[in-house]
Amino acid sequence: MNTEDCRECHGDNLDGGTSGVSCDECHAPGWRTDCTYCHGGEDSDTGAPPRDIDGTDVLEDTSFWAHTTHTTLTDGPAYGCNQCHVEHTSVTDEGHLFDDTPGRAEVVFDDGISADAEWRGDGCTAYCHGDGQDPGEVELDGAAVACGTCHDENHSNAGW
């Protein structure tokens, strides 16, 4: 897991700094803005894990095994990263990689469909796991909630 601040040697923009070596010299082209470079993309091109930033790729050992489920829904619209996180556009964005909690993605529901949701460290409360109006609680080691619990599984996705 990346817990070091690369800027100490490579400069604020990671273009060389005191080391004289730009991070672009070793990392793949486009790495600064390609979410899947650090955030997986193992199951799909969404950038969702199952590969955690520390390299963990065994689904049940990842920090949030339901990422792929949430980003590839078929019974409704798939969720974007901004539903649970601030969606950054570059590795050097304020509060992204180089913040007070390096190697940890902050959960921020402010722009999401369940803005009153809360992350508890082992699961979350969100209306989408409740009755559609009131939050329900889901734990990471609990059973997944099927969309058919609330939605007609035979509906067309048109108009969502």
Sequence-ordered list of residues with C-beta below 8 angstroms from that of 77, at least 6 positions apart, any chain: 157, 160
**Using CA atoms, how far apart are residues 62 and 60, in angstroms rounded to an integer?**
6
What's the pLDDT score for residue 131?
A: 61
What's the pLDDT score for residue 139?
A: 58
- The residue written with tokens 């509906």 in the block is 155
Contact 84, 109 (CB under 8 A): yes
What's the pLDDT score for residue 158?
A: 39
Domain ranges of the chain: 40-160
What's the pLDDT score for residue 160?
A: 38
**Weakly modelled stretches of the chain, pLDDT under 70:** 1-3, 41-43, 49-51, 53, 74-76, 127-160
What's the pLDDT score for residue 157?
A: 43
CA distances from 35 to 49, 50, 69 (A): 11, 14, 18
Q: What digits encode the pLDDT tens for the residues 69-104?
A: 788 776 667 788 888 888 888 989 988 888 888 777
What's the pLDDT score for residue 27?
A: 93
- Whether the predicted model's global pTM rises above the 0.85 cut: no
Contact 68, 74 (CB under 8 A): no
